[in-house]
Chains A and B, each alone.
Chain A
């Protein structure tokens, strides 16, 4: 959904008659600095904290999950003294992929910051919409989500160093230097906690991946689709790869970051990343066809990506207007399991449009 949001560049601004704010640009040479940059950057147009991962119960099969908090800044003047007048809009989206039940549990929330009901703190990862939150405590992240018919209470413990994507966190998203974001990931998070499905509460453990990214102008107008994958590799390594497509489906930009098991980091240039679509699955709800099986060449790696289940389509037309596929996938190399992670496919409908 992250790319979905960016692709909908105008979600926040498209209809604004006269932009009244200048969003700060993303510049090369400005390095992401943790822990200060773990918090919100309210002047930038868009920002997200994005947790994806695999979970398993004591004896149950695997579950995929994603917990996402978005922040976007509306083009509003800031001189209204009303307590409602915040220009910070927060969106949360959560989904659990449950292959045993063949079901995707998902829910979303959207709110304007203020009144202590919704806020994204600066200086540390601490964002909440009422009782949905992603916060930091004792160096660990805690995700608490209580949706209507399911819920998540997860503790995410970093076991690896942060992965700065691009050049020290400056991640280019298009041919122009201005199309870029600040972007770091926390791969290899050890997860334990509880998942509630209906009345049933399940103790779970697993591994997860956090993306934190912010920008004001990530994509140019020609970019209409995006494929992204983040993988925790079984050997302790991590791989992030993405590509951006234009209207004709041609690759407009690509990139990635590979950290080998020994800690060596390789920033992947556009030419070093190649997504090749395999089997397609068509959504019975929206009629959109998504390639759910992939071959991915990223640097020296050559991987096959297989979904945990086919139907991991998300419909968030009520909050962001986007319909996309985002789901748990397994990566294989030479026919053997190589890692697990999440894949996001956007822009496969007849162009994303927000009504």
Chain B
């Protein structure tokens, strides 16, 4: 005989539930799995991208200990002999990296190296070229990586035409690197030839250093005195920088995963809570038989853990599969084009995968916590009597906890970001959500208490029934509240973002036509002579030139973008959100983006040091502007001041205002013809540019929309199940009602009425909670992750439509569930309960 103290009997009871309610369990598991899958997929894709990024970096710079890096524009080559002869440096390999515009469209990254030196850092890459070094030294010789050769459909002996300035240059493919040498799509050239070809004489973008044995790379990097804007980075630091680049994007996706996980946790809670309610008598029996409270509690928790483990495992596997699919479809840049690497290899870090499964368990156990407590608190004597439902007294006890959670949620929203992450914001959302859900029974009770008793007997019946079963109703309502409030919050945030973005586009794109060099290509720039040519094209009423370039302001942060453009007095042509009142009068002015302001702590009205041609120049911060295009930071300075300071007179973009009778198309064609730039120069109408930007925005948020749908779907499914369960449990009640003379249609109408009422209350409450959550998302999470502000806009029509759909769906499903439940024989249903 088994000792009575064992948890085995209680386990057996809950094991039975696994068999009896597979669909219900499946929904709980699925909800957790979706959340875990999304989190795991985001994590794995990013890990794979970073691993590939690191591999690609290592593949070309080989066994370098340090990379001395400038931005795309590069730095003066005189740094090379200084570093090469510095004590502690074993090999210094100069590199000029250029993104070349190809005739026929597209670009190719070309690295100019001194093959004799570069081979020392990566002998296996150049091994096959040994003896042909001199071939590589020839001015038109190009070596392609296997990936580049494949994509460009070129083999050894082929030729490739580049767009250089307004001319073309043809290169010979003298070799194709073996497949294993690098996965990057890249070309190699002699550095002297590339300098000459691209007009970059005297410039380098990188120097790879191998240090003498025993020299500490990071300490050595710190000891180097480098020109402004040039940094020495260890491979680890480069990884950090790449990771920082994708961080905001990742955080956004992780946020979505969190939403799914919270929903999952709540579903576990709802499932277990209902199960405990339904089994009050069994539980009471167990208690009467001597099973201790702690054992019952453990049993419920264990069941939660089992659900969590199953969901976590399924989710991790699913996430891995999603990551593989995404990587094979669109490469490793998470769809945002931030890390330009290609890989189909999914990283599989065992600890992280285990952590995802564990997260599933933790989430599910958290969801099962309250039901477990309630199971343990079942009083045997009372519960063994039939029909005794949850005591309304509990409601008040929970109100205090709920209010506490809501208050702490509000307080957490004001916590500053932790290491650049809006952790306080997330905690705030979790606390508000938990508090909000705990408050649901009280809210329902208050609503029901304030409703006048209707005259129609059916409605009175509905109300009476609901008043008596607040506990069960509240649990079902919670599912709607959680999924709908999160959906509302996300919808408001995305809508606010899109709305602000659209208005911002109008502000930053005031002209009719935009000219820019092929994105990414840096072998083509507009010279002053070409600009003069442009201004003289018939139909061009006004021409505004612009130069954008990258600057590195901190070693561990991704580069920021500098935009030099003509600034009107007071920069009225910018979307400025804050202006300084007093400025140092002698300094040139700069307008920094919100991200730059946040990330580098640049004070409004203070000054910021920017590297200009290798020197540090102080600029007065005259204002903060809103920039949705560059989350890593940007700064706008006046073009004339910039040209004077840097001595550079080349531009990368131009805005064109059309004359009275000119059409965008004719002027665009005239410009292309005048400059002979072919496809290296893109002429885009402002409307098309805006459409393109918005399309890109929608693409980036497509996953958000998809997830919203999933969250609402899961919420709705759980409501359906709750109704179905209740309807089945109430078969005796329905039988009694039929006995009392109600027709079946009336019973169904009663059920639909209950569903509609619960749906309406849940949706209204969810809307309210969602509005609160959206404030946290817009003003805390979004601001801290992306460093830009949004104008708060509520898509009222959209939300109302979804709300009505949900209420209708709730009524419909309640009716349907009732249909099933009332289909059996009246007599049998009544008898069953006795």
Contact = CB atoms under 8 A, between A and B. Distances in A.
A321 B130 contact: yes
A32 interface: no
B168 interface: no
A288 interface: no
A339 to B, nearest CB: 37
Contacts of B119: 318
B359 interface: no
Interface in A206-220: none
Nearest to A131: B85
B339 to A, nearest CB: 30
Given A74-B137, A77-B139, A84 B130 contact: no
Interface residues of B, number: 33
Contact of A116 (B81, B127, B139): B81
Interface in B109-151: 114, 116-117, 119-120, 123, 127-128, 130-135, 137-139
B324 to A, nearest CB: 37
A286 interface: no
B116 A110 contact: yes
A80 B193 contact: yes
B134 A83 contact: no
A112 B120 CA distance: 13
A318 B133 CA distance: 11
Contacts of A76: 134, 137-139
Which of B77, B116, B117, B190 gathers the greatest number of chain A CB atoms within 10 Å? B116
A115 B80 contact: yes
Given A16-B135, A89-B116, A321-B131, A117 B81 contact: yes
B191 interface: yes
Interface string A94-113: 00000000000000001110
B196 interface: yes
B299 to A, nearest CB: 68
Contacts of B134: 11-13, 15-16, 74-76, 89
A85 interface: yes
A317 B213 CA distance: 23
Nearest to B123: A318
B123 A84 contact: no
Interface in A51-95: 74-77, 80-87, 89
Contacts of A22: none
A15 B135 contact: yes
B84 A85 contact: no
B202 interface: yes
Contacts of A8: 131
A112 B85 CA distance: 15
B201 interface: yes
A355 interface: yes
A13 B133 CA distance: 10
Interface string A111-141: 1100111000000000000110000000000
Interface in A16-69: 16-17
A14 interface: yes
B441 interface: no
B164 to A, nearest CB: 15
A281 interface: no
A115 B119 CA distance: 19
B94 interface: yes
A148 interface: yes
Contacts of A85: 192-193, 196
B195 interface: yes
Contacts of B80: 115
Contacts of A74: 134, 137
A48 to B, nearest CB: 17
A75 B128 CA distance: 20
Nearest to A13: B134
A139 to B, nearest CB: 28
A85 B117 CA distance: 14
A112 B81 contact: no
Contacts of B117: 111-112
Interface string A254-290: 0000000000000000000000000000000000000
A15 B127 CA distance: 15
A112 B114 contact: yes
A15 B81 contact: no
A84 B114 CA distance: 8
A355 B134 CA distance: 13
A85 B119 CA distance: 18
A15 B195 CA distance: 23
Contacts of A12: 134
A22 B137 CA distance: 17
Interface string B208-239: 00000100000000000000000000000000
A245 B622 CA distance: 80
Contact of A117 (B84, B123, B137): B84
A131 B87 CA distance: 10
Nearest to A76: B137
Nearest to A8: B131
Interface in A296-355: 317-318, 321, 354-355
B86 to A, nearest CB: 11
B172 to A, nearest CB: 8
Contacts of A75: 134, 138
A355 B84 contact: no
Contacts of A84: 77, 94, 114, 190-192, 195
A81 B201 contact: yes
Contact of B131 (A81, A87, A355): A355
B129 to A, nearest CB: 9
B132 to A, nearest CB: 5
A112 B116 contact: yes
A77 B137 CA distance: 10
A82 B196 contact: yes
Contacts of B193: 80, 82, 85
Interface in B736-779: none
A118 to B, nearest CB: 9
B196 A111 contact: no
Nearest to B80: A115
Interface string B49-85: 0000000000000000000000000000100110011
B127 A82 contact: no
Given A85-B196, A318-B119, A318-B123, A115 B81 contact: yes
Contacts of B77: 83-84, 115
Nearest to B90: A148
A174 B540 CA distance: 73
Nearest to B200: A82
Contacts of B195: 82, 84
A234 B676 CA distance: 77
Contacts of B139: 76-77, 80
Contacts of B135: 15-17
Nearest to A74: B134
B89 to A, nearest CB: 9
Nearest to B119: A318
Interface string A138-176: 000000000010000000000000000000000000000
B130 A318 contact: yes
Nearest to B94: A84
Contacts of B201: 81-83
Contacts of A11: 131, 134
B437 to A, nearest CB: 67
Which of B116, B134, B201 gathers the greatest number of chain A CB atoms within 10 Å? B134
28 contacts: A13-B134, A15-B134, A17-B135, A17-B138, A75-B134, A75-B138, A76-B137, A76-B139, A80-B139, A80-B193, A81-B196, A82-B192, A83-B202, A84-B191, A84-B192, A84-B195, A85-B192, A85-B193, A110-B116, A111-B114, A112-B116, A115-B77, A115-B84, A117-B85, A317-B130, A318-B130, A321-B130, A355-B127
Given A77-B139, A81-B196, 15 more contacts: A8-B131, A14-B131, A17-B135, A17-B138, A74-B137, A81-B201, A83-B192, A84-B77, A84-B114, A84-B190, A86-B192, A110-B116, A318-B119, A321-B130, A355-B130
- The 5 A-B residue pairs with the shortest CB-CB distance, nearest first, are A354-B131, A84-B192, A85-B192, A82-B192, A115-B81
